[in-house]
Amino acid sequence: MLGLMQNWPLTVDKIIDHANHWHGSREVVSRSIEGPIVRTTYARIHDRAKRLSNALKGLGIQAGDRVATLAWNTGRHIEAWYGIMGIGAVCHTLNPRLFAEQLCYIINHAEDQVIFTDLTFLPILIENRAKLPTVKHFIVMTDEGHMGGFPGALCFETLIDQNSADCAWGGFDENTAAGLCYTSGTTGHPKGVLYSHRSNFLHTLVTMGVDVLGISARDTVLPVVPMFHANAWGLALSGPAAGSKLVMPGQKLDGASVHELLETEGVTFSAAVPTVWQMLLTHLRQTNGTLSTLKRVVIGGSAVPEAIVRGFRDEYGVDVTHAWGMTETSPLGTQATPNAAIAAMGEEEQLRYKLKQGRPPIAIELKLQDDAGVELPHDGTTFGKLKVRGPFVAGAYFRGDGGQILDDAGFFDTGDVATLDEHGFMQITDRAKDVIKSGGEWISSIEIENIAMGHPKAELAAVIGVLHPKWDERPLLLVKLKAGEQGTKDEFLAFLEGKIAKWWTPDDVVFVDDIPLGATGKIDKKLIRDRMKDYVLPTAKAKATA
């Protein structure tokens, strides 16, 4: 027997419809690419997005066609998103931090027909235009006065002015493709994750929960995390769904620029990767700045150093919560919001859990397995392969790349090594390819990095495994010091003492001028390993001599 409820397809056009009907006057504020602060509303975004939908139809775009965006977080980018998805086309967000060769590969693999671009990225598109045979139109997200020198490109504002807002949205199956986002491609070519309207809608509902992002109509939200990073962690959808004021930072993500928006717009909630918050903390300390309205920060993308959590909490009264996810999970998979038992603990005990990646919300299932596929206990200490299943987790890659990606039970292997504790809190200990295997045991490079980052002289820290004739691998700590600082190996090893198992202690410390970050803001271990490929540990030299 089936239920007798209405069939109301979960399509994302209904999200901006809701924002228009019930939160139409709520502001969306952008630091524009041209420079000035620009103010609009959900009602105006709704109107302009429909005009863009008609413009795209006039250019021949049909349901299922891929339309790309190469853009920062602005109101115009939101308009493009909903204008594309509302007519059943697929919004393909391009990551401008990728190399030109990777961008060309992704655009051609997706067979994008139109690219919406910010002014920032005109040079790369002009230079590589001949390598993009499927792209029929480039739309520059500006007005006629700022178009720049891209022959044949169309003007965003002109298209809006020339088209009507009378456009029918939706009317298609909720499983219709809505968005396409490619993985960062740290191994091989990037792979496309194809979100459906249903998966995006369900992800939006889940992340709005108080134990996840928990944003409301009373919040002012600053999504520093880019819209090209797995839907800005859903904030470009959950913000309108909740009726939150949105503050879009454009291309200026330095500490001073982020602080200006936080204060002038009365931001209460924000989300970004750890490097952004490290820059903000540095700026606040250097300028004696204050955070007068910010209450909560969600950090994800990579493990958050304890020093950042303590800095926000102790110096500025801001609650920092860790989250974990990936492109394949839409992306939020866990959030480190305390449960009742943890909330009853003291502040320092709670901190131990806030440094973990958190517990899964409804609709996300997690499990740990060993190499033989045996499920592992949730004891907080046993490392295992992290697998995930749920309605907004990828079931396959676009065009079948990578083949079968689910196990027999329908779980996706995240490629992470993690632990799960008795409270259901998950902690990433490494990427499977980064875990250090020493004498048959595993060492977490991430845990050592996070502790080393707490040293007052450290700006960034990275740990890799280096070959050792006796132990297979031993950890090497690389440190980028803050400007003007001097450091020694002994003082960093002394700082780690008592905070990690003795046998985890790095065999050496190397001070470097740069620790490279990948396209998503994470430490690029692959590049570091390549740079250090000829490095020999002093302990390995001693063993060889003996």
In order, the DSSP letters of 389-421 are E-TTS-SS-GGGTTS--B-TTS-EEEEEEEEE-
- SS3 letters across 120-186: HHHHHHHHHHHHCCCCCEEEECCCHHHCCCCCCCEEHHHHHHHCCCCCCCCCCCCCCEEEEEECCCC
Cα–Cα distance measured from residue 156 to residue 330, given in angstroms and rounded to the nearest whole number: 28
- The Cα-based distances of 123 to 118, 119, 150, 184 in angstroms read 11, 9, 9, 22
> Where is 117: in which H helix or E strand?
strand 114-117
- Which pLDDT score, from 0 to 100, does residue 546 have? 52
What pLDDT band is residue 447 in, cutting at 50, 70 and 90? confident
Q: List the one residue out of 490, 383, 392 whose CA is nearest residue 427.
A: 383
Tell me the average pLDDT across 25-51: 98
Residue 536: phi and psi, rounded to 5, are: -120, 130
SS3 427: strand
- pLDDT of res. 47: 98
Nearest to 434 by CA among 407, 415, 453: 415
Give SS3 for 388: strand
Q: Is 442 a catalytic residue?
A: yes
> Strand, coil or helix: what is 351?
helix
Read off the pLDDT of residues 504-518 as tens digits, 9 standing for 90 and up: 999 999 999 999 987
How many CB atoms are closer than 10 A to CB 114? 25
Is 183 considered catalytic here? yes
Per the residue annotation, which of 40, 41, 176, 183 is the catalytic one?
Answer: 183
pLDDT at residue 305, as a whole number = 82
Domain boundaries, the chain: 8-24+37-205, 434-545
Tell me what pLDDT residue 35 has.
95
Question: What percentage of the chain exceeds 90 in pLDDT?
Answer: 83
Residue 262 has, within 13 A of its CA and on its CB side, a CA count of 27
CA distances from 1 to 4, 8, 407 (A): 9, 19, 31
Model confidence pLDDT, tens digit, residues 98-120: 889 989 999 999 999 999 999 99
Confidence of residue 501 (pLDDT cuts 50, 70, 90): confident
The single residue of 295, 437, 482, 541 carrying the catalytic annotation is 437
Give Cβ neighbours of residue 484 (< 8 Å, ≥ 6 apart).
Answer: none
Please say if the pLDDT value at position 135 is more than 70: yes
- Those residues with Cβ within 8 angstroms of residue 196's Cβ, 6 or more apart along the chain or in another chain: 174, 175, 176, 177, 178
pLDDT of residue 159: 98
How confident is the model over 235-264, as a mean pLDDT?
A: 97
- Best CA proximity match to 248, nearest among 73, 130, 440: 73
Pick the CATH number of 8-24+37-205 from 3.10.510.20, 3.30.465.10, 3.40.630.30, 3.40.50.12780: 3.40.50.12780
489 is catalytic: no
Residue in 186, 252, 442, 485 annotated catalytic: 442
Strand partners, 148: none
Stated as kind and residue range, the H or E segment containing 91 is: strand 90-93
Global pTM? 0.87
Three-state DSSP class for 469?
coil
pLDDT in tens, 76-90: 999 999 999 999 999
d(CA 380, CA 423): 9
Range 434-545 classified under CATH 3.60.10.10: no
Which residue type is seen at 170?
Answer: G
Q: Based on DSSP, count helices (H) and strands (E) in the chain, helices before strands.
A: 18, 24
pLDDT recorded at residue 187: 55
Length of the chain: 546
Q: How far is CA 517 from the centre of its chain?
A: 14
Joined together, the tokens standing for residue 534 give 């000829």
Q: State the first-to-last Cα distance of the chain, in angstroms, to the nearest integer.
A: 77
The active-site residue out of 79, 174, 265, 328 is 328
Average model confidence (pLDDT) across the chain:
94
The candidate with the shortest Cα–Cα distance to 78, out of 26, 16, 20, 135, is: 16
Active site residue 497: no
Angle at 331 between CA 338 and CA 103, to 5 degrees: 150
